[in-house]
């Protein structure tokens, strides 16, 4: 099973600032990585697929990068609606596995 | 508009069985692979099971293999999860999610399953 490790667990950022979230895979997953956003009481929402392609309707301030084992999600200028939990997930191998999540909170 | 609506979650005792349903609308359900993903209270996401559009390929997480069965009825635009021998650690919100090239591009709102005596 591929283990996905996200860091940090919590990221405290002021509105308008840049946030950088990391995700590491225990073995190469090529670019088969998604990022999801989850707000309290809501289902997850697909943000990014293929490591760097924004899903439909996702604002341009979100960008993804990486391949192999190291990946990054960057939010260039945090808006109030971006404070949430973020999960990475690999779909290179079965079973599909998620990271434990990074909580982006208001500083 | 794509819509996925789960149902069937209730409080059950350990060892009992339960069947979850997911009603799909707004897209050609018969053409898409589908998944169940769960989230224990206050915890992260765990993929549970996957089924292709033609049911030829089915996968399970090790934690549910042998106890859960995924199925679908394309004529009724419905996805199911039969859960047997339920354990306390199966307590979670269960989401159905559509697959597109490996990604979960649409999710339902979830249904809560509680396993407790």
Contacts of A30 in chain B (CB under 8 A): none
Q: Which of B48, B94, B103 would you mutate first to test chain A, the one with the most A CBs within 10 A?
A: B103
Mean pLDDT of A76-94: 96
Decide if A13 touches B, using CB distance below 8 A.
no
pLDDT tens digit string along B7-54? 999 999 999 999 999 999 999 999 999 999 999 999 999 999 999 999
Residue A102 at interface with chain B, using a CB cutoff of 8 Å: no
Contact A34, A55 (CB under 8 A): no
Predicted pLDDT of residue A89: 98
Nearest to B103 among A87, A91, A99 (CB): A91
What does the DSSP assignment read for A30-87? TT-EEEEEE-TTS--EEEEETTTEEPTT--TTEEEEEETTEEEEEESS--GGG-SEEE
Identify the band that residue A90 occupies on the pLDDT scale cut at 50, 70 and 90. Answer: very high
Band of pLDDT at residue A12, cut at 50, 70 and 90:
very high
Q: Place A32 in a pLDDT band, splitting at 50, 70 and 90.
A: very high
Structure tokens at B67: 């106890």
Give residue-wise pLDDT tens across range B53-112: 999 999 999 999 999 999 999 999 999 999 999 999 999 999 999 999 999 999 999 999
Query: Phi then psi for B80, rounded to 5 degrees?
Result: -135, 155
* Phi, psi of A25, rounded to the nearest 5 degrees: -100, 145
Measure in Å the smallest separation between the Cα of A78 and chain B Cα atoms: 23
In this complex, the residue of A42, A46, A98 whose CB is nearest that of residue B46 is A98
- Option in B44, B47, B101 nearest A95 (CB): B47
Give the per-residue pLDDT at A23.
98
Determine whether the interchain pair B104/A89 forms a contact, defined as Cβ–Cβ distance below 8 Å. yes
């Amino acid at each position: 099973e591929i283990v996905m490790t996200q860091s940090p667990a919590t990221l405290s950022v002021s509105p308008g600032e840049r946030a950088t979230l990391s995700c590491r895979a225990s073995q190469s997953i090529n670019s088969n990585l998604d990022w999801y956003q989850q707000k309290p009481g809501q289902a997850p929402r697909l943000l990014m697929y293929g490591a760097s392609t924004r899903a439909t309707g996702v604002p341009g301030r979100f960008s993804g990068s990486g391949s192999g084992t190291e990946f990054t999600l960057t939010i260039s200028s945090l808006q109030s609606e971006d404070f949430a939990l973020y999960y990475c997930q690999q779909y290179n191998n079965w079973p599909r596995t998620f990271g434990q999540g990074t909580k982006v909170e208001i500083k | 508009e794509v819509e996925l609506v789960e149902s069937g979650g209730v409080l059950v005792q350990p060892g009992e069985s339960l069947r979850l349903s997911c009603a799909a609308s707004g897209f050609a359900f018969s053409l898409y692979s589908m998944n169940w993903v769960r989230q224990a209270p206050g915890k992260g996401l765990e993929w549970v099971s996957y089924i292709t559009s033609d049911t030829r390929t089915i996968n399970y997480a090790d934690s549910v293999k042998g106890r859960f069965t995924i199925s679908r009825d394309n004529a009724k635009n419905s996805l199911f999860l039969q859960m047997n021998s339920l354990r306390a650690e199966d307590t979670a919100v269960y989401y159905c999610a559509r697959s597109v090239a490996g990604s979960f591009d649409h999710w339902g709102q979830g249904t809560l399953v509680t396993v407790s005596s």
